[in-house]
Structure 1
Amino acid sequence: MVYVNRGEKGQIIGVFNSPQNDDSQLISPQAPELLEFLGQSNRQEDIQTILTASDMAMVRVIEDLVNTLIDKGVIIFTDLPEAAQQKLVQREKIRHHLSSLENLMNEDEGLL
């Protein structure tokens, strides 16, 4: 997801990785109006922002693909380079930790 600022007529006038002010709006990198804005933009920063957001989504797709290939026995985890193995294990630990935190938060909601 990326943040956009809009002009007086509601048109996108800027794209950012984080909110720039209270008026910044979260938008999908695949939103048609954002793609149209980028097609007309000459600012390298706008294009880089959307590319970075897209890269983050693509990382998850590739990670899921690797896990599927391993689960189906098409490749073996140890066939991957050591650096790739370490990154996949690290991301799995982080995701597990986040999931645990979310479960704790959901359980606590009923207490109040």
Structure 2
Amino acid sequence: MYIKRNKAGDIEQVSRVATDECRERIDVDDPELDVFLGREDNESGARLAQSDLGLVRVIEDLVDVLIERNLISFTDLPEPAREKLMTRQTLRQRRNSVSLLSEQDEEESI
């Protein structure tokens, strides 16, 4: 890749081939190029989404603890929240039962 810089030294133009304006060669994996092309934002977005998935599980566990300790009632939650929690709980139970079956199959085949 080839780039052109502005007076401040920031990348302002990129080309796959050398041109009259883009003469400075830069590695495709250069972090400065990632920032210019917005790839850093996509990576940050992916990390944020992954973090959100972990946080969802924390919130689910927190709701379970609050209900177990009678600090809140399941019916205190809004209907959409109850539906989402029940759906996720059902999906987790199915996944766990499939996982247990797989482990049992492995033990029987040993």
Length-normalised TM-score, structure 2: 0.63
In the other structure, the counterpart of 1:17 is: none
Residue 46 of structure 1: how far off its partner (Å): 1.1
Larger radius of gyration: 2
Supply the distance in 2 between the matched residues of 1:98 and 1:89 (Cα, whole angstroms).
14
Q: Give the unaligned 5+ runs of structure 1.
A: 1-12, 14-36
Number of residue pairs aligned between Structure 1 and Structure 2? 74
Q: Which residue of 2 aligns with 1:63?
A: 60
Identity %: 39
For 2:108, the aligned partner's letter is: L
Question: 2:86 matched to 1:89?
Answer: yes
**Residue in structure 1 matched with residue 47 of structure 2 by the alignment:** 50
Partner deviation per Cα, 1:57-112 (whole Å, 9 max, x = no partner): 00000110011000100000000000000000000100000010011001111222
Alignment of 1:5-24 (within 5 A): none
The alignment's TM-score, normalised by the length of structure 1, stands at 0.62
RMSD (CA atoms):
1.5
Unpaired runs of at least 5, structure 2: 1-28
Q: What whole-Å deviation, never above 9, does each CA across 1:23-59 have from its counterpart, x for those lacking one?
A: xxxxxxxxxxxxxx9xxx7321011010000000000
Runs of 4+ displaced beyond 2 Å? none
Q: What amino acid maps onto 2:103 in structure 1?
A: N
Q: Residue 100 of structure 1 aligns with which residue?
A: 97
Q: Secondary structure at the match of 1:83?
A: helix
Equivalents in 2 of 1:110, 1:51: separation in Å? Answer: 38
Cα distance between partner residues in 2 of 1:110 and 1:50: 37
